[in-house]
Amino acid sequence: MLDVWSFSQNGYREEDIVTNGNRFLTGNGYMGFRGTMDEWGRPQLAAVNLAGVYDQNGDKWREPVNAPNGLFARLMVNGEIAALGLAESLEHRQTIDFRRGVHSRDTLFSSVRIQSERFVSMAEPHLLCSRLVFHFQQDASAELLCGIDTDIWDINGPHLFDFTYKTEPVLLAEARTGELKIPVAAAQRVTTDFPYEETREVTENGVFRRIRFDAKAEQVYTVTLTVAIFTGLDTHDPGKAALTLCDESGSYQACLTAHEAEWDKIWRRSAIELRGGDEAARAMNASLYHLHSIAPRHADSLSVPARGLSGQTYKGAVFWDSEIFLFPVFVHTEPELAKTLLRYRIATLPGALRKAAEYGYRGAFYPWESQEGGAEGCTDYNVTDVFTHRPVRTYFRDKQIHISGDIAYALWKYYEVTGDDSLLKEGGAEVILQCARFFLSRAHCRMDRDKAELLDVIGPDEYHERVNNNAFTNQMAAHCMSRALVLTEHFKKRDPAFINALLQTLDYEKDIPLLKAASEKLRPAFPEGKLVEQFDGYFSLEDCSLETVRSRVLDEREYWGTNHGVAAHTQIIKQADVIALMALFPTLFSDETVERNWRYYEPRTEHGSSLSACMYALTACRFNRPDLAWEHFVKTAAIDLTGGGKHWAGEIYIGGTHPAANGGAWMIAALGFAGLSVQNGEITLNPRLPEQIQSLRFPVTVRGKQVTVTVTHEGFEIE
């Protein structure tokens, strides 16, 4: 019987190194440790990816910093290396335990069996632990090289410079980032259950111990590594903090117990018990495992990169994924985490104001790819052409303006679901007002018509750049403008002093009447039962099949969008766009309208983004066709088990884990299949269970109270 709480792979194949690094990832929101072997290094993409620490080397893309790897441990037996991929392995198995957040491996070489497990502590954000157990096949002379490997994986590095090392009392490596000179420190403590001789050494690749011992067959040798990581963003003296934590943390078992207790709490707040297929149940668990592994529980104000903490792809940047795909699961299960994500946007408002001004607009234009302090990480050249190897001008940075509306949408949603307007008062209202002002200045009116337009934008479907009046964007902008007006009215009643001061500070009073006019002139009309055109002229584009477009592809890595892409001038779209609009604004569309649009757009959607399937699944549940949702659910939930998703955009590697799909899987199960909706503190359920599922059971937190929801084909229950 399938264990729905773990995933294992037997055997070793070199071509799985990249994918396994992602699917066997462990993390705690502060850092992510790729699913690599203890003895691996840069060539196998071993990495300790740090959340929120960025560095730019020269004119290469800015990206998050990987810390030195303090869990490095490589065994030599009689002078022969025992390392996966470098020596022949007779058996090999790698496992990730979702419930406990523990990674393990079990590898039999001809000379020795190596079993190890590791975790990134959910109880202590700065702590990494591993335990290695060696079973020698014959008596042998053994040497374990373990320490802090500073020769680490980087896409656009190096990022760490000016290394200094200590070998006593424990190993310590300190360095600074190149751009902002942020100090980064890693300390490593070793314990064994056997006597040994050792030397400690500093090389150009780090600081290490050589532990030599005469090993006996039939005896078991255990080594535990305790590693502490700190940066200058955490403390004034990261080196000292790392040494202290190494010194003060308890035994491996004690640390593990504390870690497991935290994971247990997490699962009790959010696990979805899915009865039906074990494969689906495991995929659901895997999705939530990956999401929780990277949630910024340690921080007050931080968000989640598009590829989580699985590496430096997508520049470690925060996208709209956070507000539209991750925010829902958190606001319904751990609202304090939803708040942490939104506080990141409040804190980075100055960057958004700067970006708007840079383009000649007013208000807040949030970065498409937000890096530290709200700096825009997205460049004007985000794809490399596979035919000419030249950078291609893309318009994600300057035209994907719906981002500001997405953030306002989530800020308002937080208030709607929690009934708590404190976040609005703590900066959220200012963000919404500034986003509305941005759309006001970005909108145009034709000289001879009384209709507003948003011209030259990119909607969620990025294959069609520079379009006019994208329905999703126009609605998101009109919504943002009307939320600005609504929140003004709200606080004029509840806290006039607050809102009047804010309006005055922002010199906003004269924008109010403009906003009133613009929000009405911009709001798209959605006639009942009609197809919604994705943007002006979409229906006039070539209406060919996905297969036709695919048949025109000359290089599997070529990008389908931009002016030259094979999809750009057809009706084939990358991901849900009109359907995302319908998923996010359910009250604007009848079930019939949703179904008609779904049936039009679904066959025309490549689902080339992991953000797509969940929107289609949610809307299929809406018109009571969960059977149409099922395949999308499975694909979404399993994405980080199967290693699915695109790996290349032009010549740029974009692989990693998929937090948005992870959040999307929860959305499909809870908001789609169970039909969960929270309004004014009231839970409603409208079950649309597919036949593959017998029941769903999951906790929901509403206004500080946790309830458990059970949904079956017969009905539902709220405890």
Return residues touching its own copies (CB under 8 A). Answer: 360, 362, 380, 385, 387-388, 390, 392-393, 440-441, 443-449, 452-453, 455-456, 466, 468, 511, 514, 517-518, 521, 536, 552, 554, 562-564, 566, 568-569
Do residues 499 and 492 make contact, with C-beta atoms less than 8 angstroms apart? yes
Min. distance of Cβ 477 from its own copies in angstroms?
A: 11
Identified catalytic residue from 124, 376, 430, 462: 462
Question: Minimum distance from CB of 403 to its own copies (Å)?
Answer: 19
| CA–CA distance, 283 with 686 (Å, rounded to integer) | 23
Give the residue with the Cβ less far from its own copies, 112 or 522: 522
Residue with smaller CB distance to its own copies, 514 or 702 = 514
Rounded to 10 deg, the angle between the 429-442 and 402-418 helix axes is 150
- Burial pattern 452-476, b for ≥16 Cβ within 10 A else e, equals bbbeebbbbbbbbbebebbbbbbbb
**Which is closer to its own copies, CB of 60 or CB of 494?**
60
462 counts as catalytic: yes
Q: How far apart are CA 133 and CA 338, in angstroms?
A: 40
Give the whole-angstrom CA distance, residue 611 versus residue 574: 10
Closest CA to 172 of 67, 300, 65: 67
The residue among 425 and 521 lying less far from its own copies, judged by its C-beta, is 521
**How far apart are the C-alpha atoms of 511 and 546, rounded to whole Å?**
45
Provide, rounded to whole angstroms, the least separation between the CB of residue 604 and its own copies: 18
Closer to its own copies by CB, 28 or 441: give it: 441
- Distances in whole angstroms, Cα of residue 60 to Cα of each of 55, 377, 584: 10, 11, 36
Closer to its own copies by Cβ: residue 445 or 506: 445
Quick one: 304 or 378, whose CB is closer to its own copies?
A: 378
Q: Which is nearer to its own copies, 468 or 686 (CB)?
A: 468
Which residue(s) pair with 699 in the sheet?
708
If the CB atoms of residues 145 and 506 are measured against its own copies, the closer one turns out to be: 506
Per-position DSSP letters for 156-201, written without gaps between them:
S---EEEEEEE-SSSEEEEEEESSS--EEEEEEEEEESS--EEEEE
CB of 301 to its own copies, least distance (A): 31
Structure tokens at 534: 């994705």
The one-letter code for the residue type at 488 is: T
Q: Which two tokens stand for residue 182?
A: 């942020």
Residue 352 three-state SS: helix
User: Any idea which residue has 């929270």 for tokens?
Assistant: 678
Least distance in Å: CB of 463 to its own copies?
A: 13
- CB distance 488 to 509 below 8 Å: no
Helix (H), strand (E) at residue 142 = strand 140-149
Nearest to 614 by CA among 636, 638, 631, 645: 636
For residue 462, the number of C-alpha atoms closer than 13 Å in the C-beta half-sphere is 21
Shortest Cβ 257–its own copies spacing (Å): 57
- Whole-number minimum distance, CB 178 to its own copies, in Å? 25
8 A C-beta contact, residue 142 and residue 20: no
Shortest Å distance, C-beta 448 to its own copies: 5
> Cβ 325 to its own copies, closest distance in Å?
29
Residue whose token pair is 């190596």: 114
Minimal CA–CA distance to 120: which of 300, 278, 308, 271? Answer: 308
Q: Taking the complex as a whole, how short is the minimal distance between the CB of residue 443 and its own copies, in angstroms?
A: 5
Give alpha helix (H) positions in 39-104.
Answer: none
**Tokens read off for 6:** 């773990």
Could you check whether the bond before residue 513 is cis, i.e. omega within 30 degrees of 0? no
* Minimum CB–partner distance for residue 537 and its own copies (Å): 9
Instruction: Write the secondary structure of 237-298 as one string of H (helix), E (strand) and C (coil).
Output: CHHHHHHHHHHHCCCHHHHHHHHHHHHHHHHHHHCCEEEECHHHHHHHHHHHHHHHHHCCCC
Gyration radius (Cα) of the chain, Å: 26
Give whichever of 281 and 573 is closer to its own copies, judged by the CB atom.
573
Q: Is 1 exposed, middle or buried (0-12, 13-18, 19+ CB in 10 A)?
A: exposed
Question: Is residue 631 within a helix (H) or strand (E), and if so which, with residue range?
Answer: helix 626-637
Nearer to its own copies, 94 or 562 (CB): 562
| Residues with catalytic function | 462
